Every structure is written in structure tokens, then in C-alpha cells.
Amino acid sequence: MEEITLGDPNVLLTTLVSLNGVLVAIIGGFLVSRLIAISTERNGIKRSSAGYQQQIKRIDEKIEKLDEKLLKPDQTWFAKESKGKVWEDVPFEELLNDDYINPNKRTEEELKQTYDALVKEKEKILEKNKDKQMPPELKEKLKGIKINHSFLLTRSEESIAAEKRRLEKEAEAKRKKELQDFLDSKKPILDEKEEQTKEIHYLNKKIEDNELSLSRIVEPKGIIAGIVFIVTAIILGIFFPLLFLPMKDGTMTNGLRLTLLGATFFILLYFIIYLVVLAADSDNE
């Protein structure tokens, strides 16, 4: 068995290759772990945002159903309060702008079908009763308006005007009460919709926070420098020494030995500076 001496160039070459291999493994493992950590963080934030989006979608569906619940009473109210106006040929646009008939400011699209149904009903009644002086429905409506002729004959003009004002006030108070009762009946649904809307605002804020967090996640510092180090160490510290293996005793020149040692010294210096700079950057974050 051939004895290996300290002057055996193969010992130096294999030592340099092993040393540089360890350095490459350290830096490579560090870079891979950083990239995996950042990728995991990004994926976690994206999954969180996707979850928020699903919640918003479900809440939007709830709000849509609540809007349907709110629209139907508004259409019923509009039909009830505008029926007499339709007989008076009041324009649809005027009915839309009436705060009493359309208290929740529904759009033309939402109430046009209801209005058209009233117009068709009116036309149908007029057609059916075109030979009569007054439609039965209108007569029915006028039944509630009772005129006390004895009152008109025995009272002065001032008292009649006062009674008229009193009746008008009572009618106005009744209208206000009916409107308030109608609005109060919708309050629970409106409150629920408001809560759902607040929840959407909250979730959208969480999504914005996630987007901000994603924008702040940058590639780990030192990636390019680390890659340059790995490539340099592989070429100068591993491939280059391997070119001379195996080497016979006494065939390594001083120039080659100095070149190999110089390359290794450069790689070690690069390694130390790289770690120091990374440590400094980590303290500043």
C-alpha cells in the first residue's frame, strides 16, 4: 500500500474540493430555506385573501336576498299610494319623485313594471265601463268621502274652511303615521343589511392589508450575490481542482498550488463578507 505524505497533491486537491463543497452547501441551503419561507408566507397570504373573497361572495348573496325582501314592500306601497294618481294621469316621473309614494327612492327600473300594471288595470276598467259614467272602482273609492250637506248648509264659510283644514291635518297625520309604520316595518331588514355591509367593508380592508403585506415581501437580500458565490465556488473551488485529480507526486507546481490556494482564499473571503453583510441587513430590518 502506497503511503500518503503531506506533500501528496491529491490531499490538497480533495481538501479544497471538500471545503468548497461545504461552503456551497451552506449558502445553497440558506438561499433555498429563505426562498421556501417567503413562498410559504406569500401562499398563506393569498389563501387568506381567497378565503375573504369567498366570505364576501356569500355575504353579497345574502344582501341580494335582503334587497329582494326590501323591494317587494316598496313596490306594494308604490302601487297602493299611486293608484289614485294614475287615475289622475300623474306622470310616472312625478310619482318617482314623490317622497311619500316613493320614500326609499326606488329607481325607474324597479318600479316601472308596477306602474305599467296600474296603467293596464286602469285601461281595462275604462274599457269595461266605457258606457258608464264612473268606474265601479272609482265609485268604491269615493264611498269613503262623505259630505255632510246639513253641515254645509248650517255652517258659515269660515267654519267650513276650518273644518276642511282640520280634516286635511288629520289626513296628513294619518299619512305620516302610515309612512312611518311602513318604514319601521323594514327597519330589521335594513339593520341586517347594514351589518352585512359593514362585514364586507371589514373583509375588504383585510384584503387590502394582505395586498400591502404582499407588496412588502421582497426577494431575500443576497440572492444574486449568493448565486454568484455558488457559481464561483463550484467553478474555482470544485471543478478546477477536480481537473487535476488524480495527480502524481511532485507534479504540482508552486504556481498551481498558489493559484488553488488563492482561489480558495478568495472564496473564503467572499463567504465571510457575504455572511457579515447579510447579518447587518437583518439587523436593519
Per-residue pLDDT band at 157 (split at 50, 70, 90): low
By the 8 A CB rule, do 235 and 102 touch?
Answer: no
**Is the domain of 19 the same as that of 65?**
yes
- The answer to whether position 180 is within a domain reads yes
Please give the grid coordinates belonging to residue 25: 452547501
What pLDDT does residue 194 have? 92
CA dihedral in degrees (195, 196, 198, 204; nearest 10)?
160
The three grid cell numbers given for residue 187, joined into one nine-digit string: 327597519
Q: Which domain holds residue 181?
A: 147-185
Provide the grid cell at 285: 430590518
pLDDT at 149: 47
H helices within the chain, ranges in order?
A: 9-87, 92-96, 108-128, 136-142, 149-154, 157-185, 187-216, 223-232, 240-242, 254-284
> Going by C-beta distance under 8 Å and a sequence separation of 6 or more, which residues neighbour residue 277?
222, 225
In a domain, 4, yes or no: no
Read off the pLDDT of residues 117-134 as tens digits, 9 standing for 90 and up: 988 988 888 777 665 555
Residue 165 lies in a domain: yes
What is the torsion angle, in degrees rounded to the nearest 10, for the CA atoms of residue 131, residue 137, residue 139 and residue 143?
170
| 97: in domain | yes
Number of domains in the chain: 2
Phi, psi of 100 (to 5 degrees): -85, -45
Average pLDDT of the residues in 242-253: 81
173 with 243, same domain? no
Q: Are 243 and 119 within one domain?
A: yes
260 vs 168, which has greater pLDDT? 260
Does residue 73 have a pLDDT over 80? yes
- Of 87, 112, 81, 117, give the one whose Cα is nearest residue 99: 81
pLDDT surpasses 60 at 13: yes
Same domain, 193 and 179: no
**Listed residues 185, 208, 237: the one ending a domain:** 185
Residues 49, 177, single domain; the answer is no
Check if the beta carbon of residue 245 is closer than 8 Å to that of residue 14: yes
Pick the more confident residue, 86 or 1.
86
Stretch 237-241: mean pLDDT, rounded? 91
What pLDDT sits at residue 5? 45
**Region 239-247: what's the mean pLDDT?**
87
Whole-angstrom distance, CA of residue 23 vs CA of residue 29: 10
Task: State the Cα angle at 40 between 37 and 43, rounded to 5°.
Answer: 150
* Cβ(233)–Cβ(25) below 8 Å: no
Query: Could you give the CA distance from residue 181 to residue 170 in angstroms, rounded to a whole number?
Result: 16
Q: What is the mean pLDDT of residues 165-176?
A: 78
Its pTM stands at: 0.59
Domain assignment present for 242:
yes
Q: Are residues 252 and 268 in the same domain?
A: yes
> Do 219 and 203 belong together in one domain?
yes
Q: At 216, is the pLDDT very low, low, confident or very high (cuts 50, 70, 90)?
A: confident
Residue 249 pLDDT class (50, 70, 90 cuts)? confident
Does any domain span residue 1? no
The DSSP output letter for 233 is I
173 domain residue, yes or no: yes
Q: 270 and 158 in one domain? A: no
Q: Are 215 and 245 part of one and the same domain?
A: yes
Domain check: are 108 and 169 in the same one?
no
In the prediction, which pLDDT does 2 show? 44
Residues 130 and 37 occupy one common structural domain: yes
Task: Confirm if 233 and 20 have CB atoms less than 8 A apart.
Answer: yes
Mean pLDDT score of the chain: 83
CB 66 within 8 A of CB 192: yes
Q: What is the pLDDT of residues 18-64, one digit of tens each?
A: 999 999 999 999 888 888 888 898 999 999 999 999 999 999 999 99
DSSP state of 235: I
Look at residue 3 and tell me if it is in a domain: no
Position 263 scores a pLDDT of 92
Instruction: With cut-offs at 50, 70 and 90, classify the pLDDT of residue 247.
Output: confident
Over range 156-161, report the average pLDDT.
66
Where is the domain boundary, 185, 213, 244? 185
Residues 129 and 178 in one domain: no
